[in-house]
């Protein structure tokens, strides 16, 4: 299993569960702590200097584990289910560009569909799901040549009302070959009977994993049983990235250090 952490490529945002500090400082620390990759949450993919970013990651020996996209929603209000066709179109354009970046930078070639799916905003849920499906269909069609895997993430009810559980995500995921499940321990602690059971439900469909405690701090700073989580992931055949998506408290340095130590020290036990 490989370990990454989420970094927000942005000066200002209300998004809390990511590292936010000067990029080179963060890359240097992650390299020294033994991280394999970094997940980058990018607000506007058209404003990224991809060559420079790619070079920086390479210099510090880190892969791009995935691109997350929630900041396009948090910072600019873009979503695949927005009531305005124009805004939905813009969100689709962003996803196509995210996919281009993911396939250019060395790494997993994966793009997260998290908060940028939007919210129902009072519309019938079925109609909103249709919009989401249509958006995903267009994105997959237009990115066919680069083979990017898209990751649909069930998110807890306090952040969205569209797809909160694995059971709700699976029918959609089964419809498309390049759409996989993003299992997030924090959201499943809120939404499922337990985050451990959720892994069994997702059997065979997990394409990526976000890890944080019940309180959304780094693994090791809360109540979850990480040995059980890692063991179950391996048992259902998931052996790729686990990406720490946690609130950087007491400091981002401590969050990264405790997170990777907790996970790394358990891995030899569960294999």
Distance in Å, CB of 59 to ligand LER, minimum: 26
- Answer with the entry of ligand LER, Mn ion, none that 115 interacts with (C-beta below 5 to 8 A by kind): ligand LER
Transcribe 195-208 into DSSP letters.
HHHHHHHTTT-EEE
Distance in Å, CB of 174 to Mn ion, minimum: 21
Q: Does residue 153 carry a catalytic annotation?
A: yes
Position with the least CB separation from ligand LER = 114
Is residue 207 within the footprint of ligand LER (CB under 6 A)? no
Between residues 106 and 159, which has the closer beta carbon with respect to Mn ion? 159
Sites for ligand LER among residues 106-125 (CB under 6 A): 112, 114-115
Residues 6+ apart with CB under 8 A from 256: 5, 19, 29, 30, 33, 35, 218, 244
Q: C-alpha angle 215/268/33, rounded to 5°?
A: 60
Is residue 155 within the footprint of ligand LER (CB under 6 A)? yes
Q: To 10 degrees, the CA torsion angle through 36, 107, 212, 118? A: 170
Q: Does residue 63 carry a catalytic annotation?
A: no
Whole-angstrom CA distances from 257 to 33, 223, 247 are 7, 18, 13
Is residue 165 within the footprint of ligand LER (CB under 6 A)? no
Q: What CA–CA distance (Å, rounded) separates 63 from 3?
A: 10
Residues tagged active-site: 153, 245
Q: Where do contacts with ligand LER occur on this chain (CB under 6 A)? A: 17, 68, 70, 112, 114-115, 153, 155, 159, 184, 210, 245
């Amino acid at each position: 299993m490989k370990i990454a952490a989420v970094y927000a490529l942005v000066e200002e945002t209300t998004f809390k569960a990511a590292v936010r500090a000067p990029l080179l400082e963060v890359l240097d620390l992650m390299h020294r702590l033994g991280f394999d990759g970094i997940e980058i949450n990018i607000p506007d993919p058209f404003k990224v200097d991809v060559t420079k970013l790619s070079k920086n990651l390479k210099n510090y020996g880190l892969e791009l584990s995935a691109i997350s996209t929630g900041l396009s929603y948090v910072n600019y209000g873009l979503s695949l289910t927005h009531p305005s066709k124009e805004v939905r179109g813009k969100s689709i354009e962003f996803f196509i560009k995210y996919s281009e970046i993911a396939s250019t930078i060395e790494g997993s070639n994966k793009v997260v569909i998290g908060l940028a799916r939007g919210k129902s905003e009072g519309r019938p849920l079925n109609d909103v799901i249709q919009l989401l499906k249509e958006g995903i269909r267009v994105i997959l069609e237009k990115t066919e040549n680069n083979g990017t895997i898209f990751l649909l993430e069930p998110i807890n009810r306090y952040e969205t009302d569209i797809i909160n559980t694995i059971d709700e995500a699976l029918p959609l995921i089964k419809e498309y070959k390049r759409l996989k499940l993003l299992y997030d321990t924090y959201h499943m602690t809120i939404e499922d009977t337990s985050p451990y059971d959720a892994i069994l439900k997702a059997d065979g469909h997990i394409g990526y994993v976000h890890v944080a405690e019940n309180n959304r701090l780094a693994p090791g700073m809360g109540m979850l049983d990480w040995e059980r989580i890692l063991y179950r992931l391996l048992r259902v055949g998931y052996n790729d990235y686990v990406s720490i998506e946690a609130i950087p408290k007491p400091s981002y340095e401590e969050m990264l250090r405790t997170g990777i130590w907790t996970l790394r020290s358990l891995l030899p036990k569960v294999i």
